[in-house]
Amino acid sequence: MKKHHITYGQIVRCVGLEMSVSKLVSAYPQIVESLKQDDITHFRKFQEQAIEAGLLKGKNLLIAAPTGSGKTLIGELAILKHRLKQESKKALFLVPLKAVANEKYDEFLRKYGDLFTVKVSTGDYETIPEELTEANLIIATYE
């Protein structure tokens, strides 16, 4: 019996639950390019709904979705939009655990180091307050 490997993305696209990144964020070509570098070509349904509800227009949204479903991407989109439009000088990205903060710090530094001065503050580090005031993107814990 021949096995076929079908990815989650293929299944979702087959049932029409995803929308093209290019279609939803076409006003922000830099965001589209950033997403494509991470092989993100389609949004999940709840991500699409967040964009349609005004995520990129400055609306306040509460996102509730399972772990690993893509909530971080929604936050990244909001941060990128504000930075690219220079509507905000700083972004604070809160995570529940120190390990997650360190992981996001490494990821955001890799992805957005050319757009942001990225810093992390988890309580374990002797972060100099001046470093945080100079940062554009601060990843911190609320624990």
Identify the pLDDT of residue 23: 67
Per residue in 115-125, pLDDT tens? 888 999 887 66
Whole-prediction pTM value?
0.74
Per residue in 12-69, pLDDT tens? 343 344 566 766 666 677 777 778 788 888 888 889 888 888 888 888 899 888 888 8
Cβ contact 70:47 at 8 Å: yes
Q: Which residue has the tokens 């079908």?
A: 6
Per residue in 77-87, pLDDT tens? 888 888 877 76
Helical ranges in 7-70 per DSSP H: 8-14, 21-24, 29-37, 45-52
